Amino acid sequence: MVRCAGHLQALQRQCHLAANFSGSVGDIQVHLQKIYGAEVSSSLISKVTDAVAKEVKA
């Protein structure tokens, strides 16, 4: 479970960085595919970016 948490944190950081340069879920998907070879659903990206945005606003 700890390993998954680390991966989730890395995904959150990458979604946050990707959102800063584009704001588009599609652009974030392309970024994650290019950098990690990962296919991530648009719904997961939206959930993660929403969570990150809440943390940033807090």
Nearest Cα to Cα of residue 50 among 42, 5, 30: 42
d(CA 51, CA 33): 21
Structure tokens at 34: 């290019």
d(Cα 55, Cα 35) in Å, to the nearest integer? 24
Q: What is the pLDDT of residues 6-57, one digit of tens each?
A: 677 777 777 776 666 656 888 888 888 988 898 999 999 888 888 877 877 7
Q: Does the pLDDT at position 2 exceed 70? A: no
pTM of the full predicted structure? Answer: 0.58
Cα–Cα distance measured from residue 58 to residue 27, given in angstroms and rounded to the nearest whole number: 26
